[in-house]
Amino acid sequence: MKEMLSKISIQVNEKIYLKNPDTSVLGRKLVAGSIALIDELGFEGFTFRKLAKSIDSTEASIYRYFENKHKLLIYLTAWYWGWMEYRMVFGLANVASPEDRLRKAINLLTEIVKEDSTFSHINEIKLNHIILAESSKAFLTKSVDQENKEGFFSGYKALVERMSQIILEINPNYKYSHMLVSTLIEGVHHQRYFTEHLPALTDVIQGEDAISDFYKDMLFKAIKTVEK
Amino acid sequence: MKEMLSKISIQVNEKIYLKNPDTSVLGRKLVAGSIALIDELGFEGFTFRKLAKSIDSTEASIYRYFENKHKLLIYLTAWYWGWMEYRMVFGLANVASPEDRLRKAINLLTEIVKEDSTFSHINEIKLNHIILAESSKAFLTKSVDQENKEGFFSGYKALVERMSQIILEINPNYKYSHMLVSTLIEGVHHQRYFTEHLPALTDVIQGEDAISDFYKDMLFKAIKTVEK
DNA sequence: CAAATATAATAGTATTACTATCATTTTCAA
DNA sequence: TTGAAAATGATAGTAATACTATTATATTTG
């Protein structure tokens, strides 16, 4: 079983990297190390020099995998969305009602990742933590149009489209399905971040997962109700 | 009239800057120039050296006003929230019903700023454009806790609190007022940005301001309805 | 008008973000 | 198993960034 799972790997757009880090020991150490280091230092404080030191390699070697740290961040986010897609495929299979599928999808997106999977070198707990604080920096740059054209964000877009389709199954007349989904996804990241750092901007309720409850409430009301 | 208006100025937390840029010709040129340059180059491409050149001054002079470009970004966002607060005070005064006040507040937040005011050196159109792409970078850093403690985000928090109060007037039992407001604010930024750069993540509807309509619909349903 | 303050001009440092070259190690195919 | 190809390491170097410091020159203000 473990062996089977170890053969599953998340594919990301080939143009993101110079050399696929998934194909070598150094590449996997590089990615694993970058997750630990970005989580520790933040993306701005993170440099390839520090990464090289932390994995006992050299800057030059890292530059053979990624053009720059921005591309590495895009790689991590693309991997994350690929992984999320994979979790959705498994989690939503054989769930007949679109309502239940949507509920499950929201759960997957809002959950704080608490278990590291055994099938990859990537620590999904730390990666999830990075995504909350850093993922928007992957597209909030002047190179976004070019990078979008090259398909760097296709994983994210595919997920939005998939969930959008579920919403349209529930209510084919709902006009803002993509907006609703991307508002949910980015919102979850922000609210989780706010809970930790800017609690005045959110609502923390003892013993409840307010974020998950809030977004479920919000989405179903948006899709299913007519205003009183 | 012009003279009176020119005496209005937006106050920001004094700890954000080393010397108040609002008190000198150079300081105002610096801020105005930074808005133009960040809009043109993006925050990552923007440097104090380039700013100095563009306003025909020196790096050393700019460093007398701001410790670094991150503090300057915090200044710009704080100014923006102060300005938004000012617009809300005027825009919502004498509006009796909380529903109408909420609708107006959402309009102010979702509107693309199209007119530059005459009472300040700041180009609000460009600043609004910067806010969409760059404002989240002001708090998505490792220094957020310290900076929050020093009150750098109090303008943003005050606005969330103000709108949260309106929501509670409409429905005192609504549990997630702060979350709803910050989801709205950050969401508007993202959706405007997506419309321009990643349209697959949003819904663009010809001849309609889909973003404004979507958020109004979403908020009122969240606050006022019970799920069918 | 003198003193204080602000700005400009200039120079300098440490770090970042790379690129280049060559030696060494590892891989993998015949 | 060996020898070529590929990957990595070691080292060096460049341009730009992110500052700090010093001194000279304007400008403001009391």
Q: Which residues of A touch B137 (CB under 8 A)?
A: 137, 140
B143 CB closer than 7 A to any strand D atom: no
Q: Per-residue confidence at A120, pLDDT binned at 50, 70, 90?
A: confident
Q: Find the Å distance, CA of residue A23 to C1' of nucleotide D2.
A: 25
Interface test with A, best of B68, B141, B181, B221 (most A CBs within 10 A): B221
pLDDT in tens, A48-82: 999 999 999 999 999 999 999 999 999 999 999 99
- Name the band, by pLDDT with cuts 50, 70 and 90, for residue A130: very high
Residue B26 predicted with pLDDT over 90: yes
- Residue A212: per-residue pLDDT: 97
The answer to which of A73-87, A111-125, B154-168 has the lowest mean pLDDT is: A111-125
How far apart are the CA of B194 and the nearest CA of chain A, in angstroms? 9
* DSSP character at residue A92: H
For residue A159, the domain's CATH number is 1.10.357.10
Rounded average pLDDT over B90-113: 94
B218:A180 CB<8 A: yes
Please report which confidence band the pLDDT of residue A4 belongs to, taking 50, 70 and 90 as the band edges. Answer: very low
Q: Is the pLDDT of residue B221 over 90?
A: yes
Please give the pLDDT value at position A216: 97
Q: Which residue has the tokens 């700019």?
A: B62
Q: CB count, 10 Å around CB of B68?
A: 10
Mean pLDDT along residues B176-183: 98
Higher pLDDT, B172 or A116: B172
Q: What is the pLDDT of residue B138?
A: 98
Residue A105 C-alpha, separation from nearest chain B C-alpha, in angstroms = 17
Question: What are the chain B neighbours of A211 within 8 Å (beta carbons)?
Answer: 179
Contacts of B133 (CB under 8 A, 6+ apart): A140, B42, B43, B189, B193
Residues 6+ apart with CB under 8 A from A54: A33, A36, A37
**CB-CB contact of B222 with A217 (8 Å):** yes
**Which residue has the closest alpha carbon to C6 C1'?**
B61
In the predicted model, what is the mean pLDDT of chain B?
Answer: 93
Round and report the angstrom distance from CA (A54) to C1' (D4): 33
Do the Cβ atoms of A178 and B186 come within 8 Å? no
Label residue A8 by pLDDT band (50, 70, 90).
low
If you compute the radius of gyration of chain A from its CA atoms, what whole number of angstroms results? Answer: 19
Using CA atoms, how far residue B55 sits from A41, B25, B46, B67, in Å, is: 33, 11, 13, 18
Cβ of A225 within 8 Å of Cβ of B227? The answer is yes
Domain ranges, residue B216: 2-224
Tokens standing for A60? 């030059």
Mark yes or no for CB contact B201/A178 under 8 Å: yes
Q: Taking the CA atoms of A38, A186, A11 and A121 in sequence, report the sign of the dihedral they define.
A: positive
Least confident of A83-97, A204-218, B7-21, B46-60: B7-21
Residues of B in contact with A193 (CB under 8 A): 140
Q: How distant is C1' of C17 from CA of B13, in Å?
A: 34
Q: How confident is the model at residue B19 (pLDDT cuts 50, 70, 90)?
A: very high
- The predicted pLDDT at position A7 comes to 54
User: Is the shortest CB-to-strand distance from A24 to strand D under 7 Å?
Assistant: yes
Q: What is the pLDDT of residues A168-218, one digit of tens each?
A: 999 999 999 999 999 999 999 999 999 999 999 999 999 999 999 999 999
Residue B7 above 80 pLDDT? no
Q: In the structure encoding, which two tokens stand for residue B101, read together?
A: 């006040």
Q: Is the CB of A57 under 7 A from strand D?
A: yes
Could you tell me the pLDDT band of residue A119, with boundaries at 50, 70 and 90? Answer: confident
CB-based contacts of A221, cutoff 8 Å, min separation 6: B221, B222, B225, B227
pLDDT attached to residue B88 = 95
Q: What percent of chain B has pLDDT over 70?
A: 95
Q: What is the pLDDT of residue A1?
A: 34
Taking the C-alpha atoms of residue B102 and residue B170, their distance in angstroms, rounded to an integer, is 9
Residue of chain A with shortest Cα separation from B176: A203
Region A220-228: mean pLDDT is: 81
Q: Please count the structural domains in chain B.
A: 1
Mean pLDDT of A135-149: 98
**What does the alpha-carbon distance between residue A134 and residue A195 come to, in Å, rounded to a whole number?**
16
CB-based contact B176:A205 (threshold 8 Å): no
